């Protein structure tokens, strides 16, 4: 039995680590009659939802739509660790969690540029977590270099995660193409975790606007699904409004709902929502 992960092995914006236990229970509940045959993770992200689904329902085929190429980041953990070791050494005399001096920043940039020229691959999202202010990410050297550096370099290397995606069918397709392929297959459940509306989606490999979020709702109609959203997006409230005022059916009618409150600071926070329906 491969290791069971409760969080993604590398940083990823929006991973559902705090929903893992509720998500497991939802899958087990949905499969009480043992009718689930295929699980399609339309927005695979960090792969945590696909990984968990395979652990909970190992007899099912689990399709991980890795549109963000997370599996490449997993594959390159050894290279990322070597780079982090050098960055750690270069920043060792800088105050912890404080802004890095311009002189040391220049040396860090030189090391990263040399790595890109020599190796040809850098996991900028992971490196961002060790050099940028909390919550900030870059996808290229240019994006990284224009920001202030902070000495938040990870103290230890990342563990190898060779078994993290074990047993998954890894694809990289537009979610609409994947949905069309599987929507009429018996025993399929769609995992739908799109980037949230009204939140930062800068680390995703494609740009999302309001019409994109609404288009996703088409995958819910007539489907068995587990859908993730937030009260920031107000998608559920929007559909309820249309239902009340225009008598339009909501795809969430009959779905079960699980919420988790996230506190950002003393002034407030937001609520993550999981809806599931069989």
139-155 pLDDT tens trace: 999 999 999 999 999 99
Burial 185-217 (b: 16+ CB within 10 A, else e): eeebbbbbbbbbbeeebebbeeeeeeeebeebb
pLDDT of residue 252: 86
Closest C-alpha to 123, from 9, 7, 8, 10: 10
Q: What is the pTM of this model?
A: 0.89
Mean confidence (pLDDT) of the chain:
90
Residue 203 has pLDDT above 50, yes or no: no
pLDDT of residue 248: 78
SS3 119: helix
* Rounded Cα–Cα distance for residues 236 and 202 (Å): 24
233-262 pLDDT tens trace: 677 777 777 778 877 788 888 899 999 887
* Rounded Cα–Cα distance for residues 157 and 166 (Å): 22
Q: How confident is the model at residue 206 (pLDDT cuts 50, 70, 90)?
A: low
């Amino acid at each position: 039995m491969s290791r069971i992960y409760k969080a993604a092995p590398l940083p990823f914006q929006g991973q559902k680590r705090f929903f893992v236990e509720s998500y497991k229970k939802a899958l087990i509940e949905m499969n009480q009659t043992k009718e689930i045959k295929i699980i399609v993770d339309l927005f695979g992200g960090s792969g945590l939802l696909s990984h968990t689904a395979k652990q909970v329902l190992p007899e099912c085929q689990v399709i991980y739509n890795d549109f963000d190429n997370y599996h490449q980041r997993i594959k390159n953990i050894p290279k990322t660790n070597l780079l982090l070791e050098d960055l750690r050494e270069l920043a060792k005399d800088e105050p912890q969690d404080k802004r890095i001096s311009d002189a040391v920043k220049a040396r860090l940039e030189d090391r990263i540029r040399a790595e890109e020229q020599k190796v040809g691959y850098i996991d900028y999202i992971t490196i961002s977590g060790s050099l940028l202010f909390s919550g900030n990410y870059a996808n290229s050297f240019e994006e990284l270099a224009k920001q202030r550096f902070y000495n938040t370099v990870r103290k230890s290397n990342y563990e190898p995660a060779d078994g993290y995606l074990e047993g998954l069918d890894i694809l990289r397709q537009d979610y609409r193409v994947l949905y069309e392929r599987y929507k009429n297959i018996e025993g399929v459940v769609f995992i739908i975790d799109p980037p949230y509306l009204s939140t930062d989606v800068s680390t995703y490999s494609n740009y999302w606007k309001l019409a994109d979020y609404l288009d996703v709702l088409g995958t819910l109609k007539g489907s068995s699904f587990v859908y993730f959203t937030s009260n920031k997006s107000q998608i559920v409230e929007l559909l309820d409004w249309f239902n009340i005022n225009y008598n339009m059916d909501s795809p969430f009618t009959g779905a079960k709902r699980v919420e988790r409150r996230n506190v950002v600071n003393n002034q407030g926070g937001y609520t993550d929502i999981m809806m599931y329906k069989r």
